[in-house]
Structure 1
Amino acid sequence: MEFFTNVMNQLNSIVWALPLVVLCLGAGIWFSIRMKFPQVRLFKEMVKLLVHGEKSDAGITPFQAFAATVGSRVGMGNIAGVATAIFFGGPGAVFWMWIIAFIGASSAFMESALAQAYKVKGGNGEYLGGPAYFIERALKCKPYAIAFAVATILGPGILMPGLHVNSIASTYEEAFGADMLLVGIIFCAIFGLVICGGIKRIAKTAEYMAPIMCVVYVVMAFAIIIMRIKDVPAVFKLIVTSAFGLDPLFGGIVGSAISWGVKRGIYSNEAGQGSGAIVSAAAECSHPAKQGLVQAFSVYIDTLIVCTSSALIILLAGTYNVGGPDGTMALVENIPGVEYGIRWAQNALNAVYGGTWGGKALAIVIIMFVFTSLMGYYYQAESNVRYLFKDNKKAVWVMRAVFLFSAFSGVLVNGEIIWTMGDTGAGMMAWLNIIAILLLSKKGFALLKDYEEQRKAGKDPVFDPKKFDIEDTTGVWSKFKNK
């Protein structure tokens, strides 16, 4: 186990070296400037498209795709991930999470619009797409596409699921004294019933669970804000000043704040990682830019609302203090033995609300967070298995078994190595996807331009693949020709 831990730590340090941080920030800035900041200009359009979207038997609705991707994004990265970022990068890491969310919204648009433009119909009539598909069809590089598909199966399919089950099991152990092994068995059994229903059952489940879990968690955070309203300005000031090293307590860890903010921001909102694009491709819409804008909006929900809620819960609860010579977190003396991560958030809630009911309430909400996250992860892995094995049903069932085993393994392995595995999986996907969407950026810019030109002409935009030299081999866009 020690050898495996060392190997994973070494691999993670290579994957998440400075070049990936620069690549993520640089790509988001370039896309934002080149498209004239659609995340601001077209905000109202995003909301409109989310509410009024096409429906069909072949695809899922834009809202279902939105809910599935929000469900995937709003998970442990928003609670345990934020706590970990603050632990290692100080409060300033939260600021850099905001930044990567804002500029990452343009990356989310780019990858999702491209996934829509190059999607195909699978053997069961459902839409399939994502980076593997647009890399092969647009870049004409099959080995590159295979590499992304393999990275996605390794990341969301094998390396990342255990983190979430570990978090939920440890949460219930902390809140109710439940046996972690038993929690893992029950959770994985119920989860298996959902994923066997394919993308439509996954999307339908996420459609109901994602809004509820977000609202409940934000309400819990809002109550803390009201109770500690006098401290709110100071907390926001601390986040901003420590992000740039202006606060003397955090002057020496500015690099860590940026690195951990970007890393946890990408792990949380997945913008630029390519995972949101996989689910986006399953949606029904008349123009790729529509789903691109919807997915850009989901990044805001994830980071600017849910992640900020987690940060405020921790920083307003009085459980944070600077202790070590390197500026990393030390727990205050009256709350001993609290681990960073999900249990830190639990104890922060208990510290504010008194007793243990705050942590217990979080444990109940966590069920939905983890469930929707893993549904998104599973579909990402399944979609790429179907890409590699040409819709082979046996391969899909093997993937289901492997995924459930990987998820359950989270209660058997220590939490530190699980976080490392999750980071490595997300990083591998990000490297491959961001380079691909940078190479295809002209196509993405053209998709947005075409959409806006049709909107200005008073039309409901319709995508013509021939106009973009895209061959519609499976008739995905034929139903919209006479619209």
Structure 2
Amino acid sequence: MQSVVDFLNGIIWSPVLIYLCLGAGLFYSVTTRFVQLRHFREMWRLLLSGKSSEKGISSFQALAVSLSGRVGTGNIAGVAAAIGFGGPGAVFWMWVVAFLGAATAYAESTLAQIYKEEDEGQFRGGPAYYIEKCMGQSWYAWIFAIATIFACGVLLPGVQSNSIGNAVEAAFGSGAMIETAIGTFSFAKIATGTIISIILGFIIFGGVKRIAHFTQIVVPFMALAYIIIAFVIILLNISQVPGIVMLILGDAFTPMAGFGAAIGWGVKRGVYSNEAGQGTGPHAAAAAHVQHPAQQGLVQSFSIYIDTLLVCSATAFMILLTGAYNVHGGGEGAFLIQNLSAEIGANGPVFTQMAIESALPGLGKPFIAFALFFFAFTTILAYYYIAETNIAFIRRKLKISGMMFVLKIILMVSVFYGTVKAADLAWAMGDVGVGLMAWLNIVGILIIFFMSKPALKALEDYEAQQKAGVTEFTFDPVKLGIKGADYWEKKYHGKTAPKSEGTDGNTPAKSTV
């Protein structure tokens, strides 16, 4: 299985995809005149001012749901892997991906808002929807939907739960070994997998509103706690910070771990962590209730900064400041830098646990186990919502009952299986899922741009209304020459969209917060 998955990764994560991710971010940065910088202040305002409605969640809730997908194992174990296989310079390329990816996130999330639909009393949208409506290619949309259901329902949840299992085992011990039909595993991992699956089932059977309420509380709290711990460790080693910054910048362009390896691992783990261009964020973005599609695009763009420039950087500095890392060389068992035992794998949270443990003895292992549980668990919830949305897309044409129930069961099984399996296989399978979605989505949003530029038109329209000083923004896709935006057409021209929807200047929305 490992060899098959590694072979697929070699094809999917070729240098072409690496440069496609960077190129798409640069392209959208230039065409939007660096929207991620120009509208930074507006991002803050929108983040704190949105309301929810009976059909949609608020901008902050949508940010929390998408952040629950972005802030996860990739921020703790993924950064460790980037350093372990790509050297300290990989961190620089994670920053580059974050900065450029913020523009990509704007584009894909704005598209999701423009082409969203109402489905059984809630908003749905994402790449499958905008590919079908804007490109007019149902077959391509179906390929994305199927690939996403497979990736988010089967492959990616195991990566998150695997890191939880490894962190719990490292923090509290493995316990007795238990023989099962699928292998011999520690009691700690079996118990952890069982508990995660039960809690997961309780939440996902409650729907998107329950997911949104859970994540809007947990994600900000855990991210803040994690950053505070990192800040304390940085302060304890403040004299070393300039040297670490120079190490990151210098190694980004030197052959310590291979110039290509630094870029490759930085981009791969950067995309895995912040998900810009991957096509996951747009699903939560489409569920938000906003006055104008560009507003949610800006909020989602800001989420990339939170994920990579804050949380990922916090992990990187803790690891590098404490020296709790190895850098693998070209051959098996070869190291370019070896500060830790050779048995400690880079594909896991152990680097981060040891970094905190060395600076704050007695805190590192249990804290990371605790943080990983919430980070990874909320990411699994986001994956479920994404898979559910794509099943809803397919269900519009393929009327098969019980598809959502089957997804819930498969996800719970995948989470348990991922908890007990080897880390390398779990991460490799996750990379396959991420790579497939990134290929399909980035190609899609680039084609859409050259066809009709809807995300750019939405930005220009929003900026024009800002300049005019309006207090209630509106969006008329017909005036902008955007076709297929059925929800917004009906909303603007008053054919549907009840007055209780809130921020369109009518009756205030009924809050679900």
Equivalence for 2:177: none
User: Structure 1 residues 229, 472: closer, same or farther in 2, change over 3 A?
Assistant: closer
Decide which of 91, 115, 118 is 2:112's aligned counterpart: 115
Number of residues paired by the alignment?
Answer: 473
Contact persistence 1:81–1:264 (CA under 8 A)? yes
Equivalence for 2:65: 68
Equivalence for 2:210: 201
Contact persistence 2:25–2:101 (CA under 8 A)? yes
Gaps of 5+ in 1: none
Equivalence for 2:180: none
Contact persistence 1:65–1:280 (CA under 8 A)? yes
Distance in structure 2 (CA, Å) of the matches to 1:351 and 1:331: 16
User: Structure 1 residues 345, 252: closer, same or farther in 2, change over 3 A?
Assistant: closer
Decide which of 157, 180, 191 is 2:153's aligned counterpart: 157
Alpha-carbon deviations, 1:64-114, whole Å to 9, x = none? 000111111100000100000001100000000000000000000000000
Equivalence for 1:141: 137
Distance in structure 1 (CA, Å) of the matches to 2:328 and 2:376: 32
Distance in structure 1 (CA, Å) of the matches to 2:282 and 2:430: 19
Matched ranges for 1:97-108 at <5 A:
97-108=94-105
Supply the AA of the counterpart residue of 1:362. I
Equivalence for 2:429: 421
User: Structure 1 residues 149, 328: closer, same or farther in 2, change over 3 A?
Assistant: farther
Cα distance, 1:323 vs structure 2:
7.1
Q: TM-score, normalised by structure 2?
A: 0.89
User: Structure 1 residues 476, 169: closer, same or farther in 2, change over 3 A?
Assistant: farther
Equivalence for 1:219: 228
Contact persistence 1:88–1:329 (CA under 8 A)? no
Contact persistence 2:240–2:321 (CA under 8 A)? yes
Decide which of 402, 412, 415 is 2:420's aligned counterpart: 412
Decide which of 332, 356, 381 is 2:387's aligned counterpart: 381
Equivalence for 2:294: 289
Distance in structure 1 (CA, Å) of the matches to 2:192 and 2:329: 35
Cα distance, 1:385 vs structure 2:
0.8
User: Structure 1 residues 392, 298: closer, same or farther in 2, change over 3 A?
Assistant: farther
Alpha-carbon deviations, 1:284-319, whole Å to 9, x = none? 001110000000000000000000001011111122
User: Structure 1 residues 376, 464: closer, same or farther in 2, change over 3 A?
Assistant: same
Contact persistence 2:152–2:387 (CA under 8 A)? yes
Decide which of 435, 440, 445 is 1:437's aligned counterpart: 445
1:449 aligned onto 2:460: yes
Supply the AA of the counterpart residue of 2:456. F
1:233 aligned onto 2:238: no
Cα distance, 1:371 vs structure 2:
1.5
Equivalence for 2:511: none
Matched ranges for 1:12-411 at <5 A:
12-122=9-119, 124-177=120-173, 179-245=188-254, 250-251=255-256, 253-320=258-325, 324=329, 328=335, 330-332=337-339, 337-340=343-346, 341-354=348-361, 356-390=362-396, 394-411=402-419
Alpha-carbon deviations, 1:228-267, whole Å to 9, x = none? 111111111000000011xxxx445111000110110000
Alpha-carbon deviations, 1:318-372, whole Å to 9, x = none? 2235574778554425x67433221121112111212x32211121122210111
Contact persistence 1:90–1:328 (CA under 8 A)? no
Distance in structure 2 (CA, Å) of the matches to 1:314 and 1:45: 33
Moved more, 294-303 or 166-175: 166-175
Contact persistence 1:79–1:310 (CA under 8 A)? yes
Q: TM-score, normalised by structure 1?
A: 0.94
Contact persistence 1:321–1:331 (CA under 8 A)? yes
1:463 aligned onto 2:475: yes
The percentage of counterpart residues that share the same residue type is 44
Question: Which SS does the other structure have where 1:286 is aligned?
Answer: coil
Alpha-carbon deviations, 1:365-422, whole Å to 9, x = none? 2221011111111100110011112286611111111111111111332110110110
Supply the AA of the counterpart residue of 1:137. K
Distance in structure 1 (CA, Å) of the matches to 2:256 and 2:482: 52
Moved more, 10-19 or 170-179: 170-179
Gaps of 5+ in 2: 175-187, 498-502, 507-513
Distance in structure 1 (CA, Å) of the matches to 2:408 and 2:328: 44
Cα distance, 1:13 vs structure 2:
0.9
